[in-house]
Amino acid sequence: MPTRYLPLSADAHVNEPHNLWYERLPEELRDFAPRRIEQGAEGAWTLVVNGDRMGWQTISKEREQELEAERIGHATPAVRLEMMADDGIAGEVVYPTIGLYVWDIERGDVGQAACRIYNDWILERLSESGGRIKLAGMIPTWDIDDAVSEIQYIAGKGFAAAMMPLVGTPAWNDPQYEPLWDAISDTGIAVVMHQGTGQGATGGGVVYRGPGSPGANILTAQTQAPRTTSLLAGAGVFHRHPEMHVVLVEVNGGWLAWCMEVLDEFARANPSWTKPKLPELPSHYISRHIHCTFQNDPVAIANLPLTGPRTLMWGNDYPHDEGTYPRSQEVIANLFANVSEQDRRMILTQNTAEVFGFDQSILTTPVEASS
C-alpha cells in the first residue's frame, strides 16, 4: 500500500490582536502603525494606518473585546494543531493579517519597529509546535540595511521565510536590493510575498468603485504577481542566486503559463531589447524559483503540462472566511481527481516541505486531535 502524504498548507494566517502595535510601540509612534482601535462616536472601532482610517467595517466596542480575546486564544499551538487534525493537514506556514498593511506605513522607523513587534510576538505565540508550524518574519524594506539586519535576526530565531511586499518601492529589479538577495541566499530561508502588499498596492483593497468593481479589484491585486515575477526573473536575481525561492501567496497560479510564454516569446523575438542577457529563457528561472499558492484553482491544475508542478503550492488560508477550512479534503479531492500521484504529492506536500524546511517525518503522520 503506497505511503499517504498529508497536505501542508503554504498559506495560513493569524488574526493578530488589534492592539498589538499600539501597546508595544513607543507612544510617539502609535498613531502611524496599523491598528483597529480608533473609537468612533458610537463606540465603533476602525483600522487606522498613518493616522488615517482604512475604511474597514465598524464593530461595537463590546464585540471587539470579545473578538480580541478570541484572536489571542487562536494564536496558540494547541488551537492550530486542532485545526490541522480537523482539516487533515500535516502542517502550515503562518502569515499575518493586519500586518499585511505594515508596508503601507510611510515612515521607515515606524515600519521597522512594527515588523520587529510582529516577529517577536508570533515567535512568542507559535514557536513550540513540534515542527508543524513554520513562521514568516516581516522584513522592513524601507531601508536596505534594516532589511538585511531583520533577515539575519529572523533566520537566527528559526523563521522559515522572510516576508516582503509584493510591490517593491522602488521596484524589485532595482540594483539596490542586491544586498537583500545576498542575505536571503546566505541564510537559506525563502522569500514570501502576499497578494495586496506594498505601498500603494492595497488602499484597503479598493482601486475601482461601482458596478463590477469587486472582481476588477481582485484582478488588479493579483496582476501584481506576474509583474513581480517578470522583474525578478528578467533582472537576473535568480541567475545570480540559484538557490533562492520566492513564494507568491494567494495569487493563484492560472496566470503562470501565460506569463512564462509571453516572456519567453518576447525574449526570443526581441533579443536586442532583453537586458541583462541571461543564459536561459525567463520560463527556466520561473519554473525553478517562483511558487504560487492557491486554494482552489482548476486553471492552474489544467496548465500543469505547461508550468510543471514545482511552481504550485496549496494552502487552506485558515482562518479567513474565503479559505477552504474545514472542507479542504473535499476541495482537494475534486481538484486533484485527474492529477498523477507524483504531481499531487509535489503540489500538496513536497514543494512546501522543501522550500520551508518541514521535516519529512511529519508528512505521513496525522495530527492527533486533543480529547
User: For residues 281 and 266, what is the distance between their CA atoms, to the nearest angstrom?
Assistant: 10
| pLDDT value of position 44 | 40
The C-alpha atoms of residue 354 and residue 365 are separated, in whole angstroms, by: 17
Report the CATH fold assignment for 8-16+75-362. TIM Barrel (3.20.20)
Q: Chain-wide mean pLDDT for the chain?
A: 90
Q: What is the pLDDT of residue 274?
A: 83
Q: What is the pLDDT of residue 71?
A: 84
Residue 49: beta bridge partners?
Answer: 52
At 148, the amino acid letter reads V
Identify the band that residue 294 occupies on the pLDDT scale cut at 50, 70 and 90: very high
Percent of the chain at pLDDT exceeding 90 = 72
Q: How many CB atoms lie within 10 A of CB 131?
A: 13
pLDDT at residue 246 above 60? yes
Averaged over 194-208, what is the pLDDT?
Answer: 70
pTM above 0.75, yes or no: yes
pLDDT-based confidence at 35, cuts 50/70/90?
Answer: low
Residue 165 binned pLDDT confidence (cut-offs 50, 70, 90): very high
State the cell numbers at 331: 476541495
pLDDT at 200 over 80: no
Q: What is the dihedral of CA 131, 319, 293, 111, to 10 degrees?
A: -80
pLDDT at position 39 is 44
State the average pLDDT over residues 161-169. Answer: 96
Q: In sequence order, what are the residues at sequence separation of 6 or more whose Cβ sits closer than 8 angstroms to the Cβ of residue 94?
A: 12, 13, 14, 80, 122, 126, 133, 134, 135, 136
Indicate the domain borders of the chain. 8-16+75-362
pLDDT of residue 364 exceeding 90 = yes
| CB neighbour class for 81 (10 Å; exposed up to 12, middle 13-18, buried from 19) | buried
pLDDT at residue number 208: 84
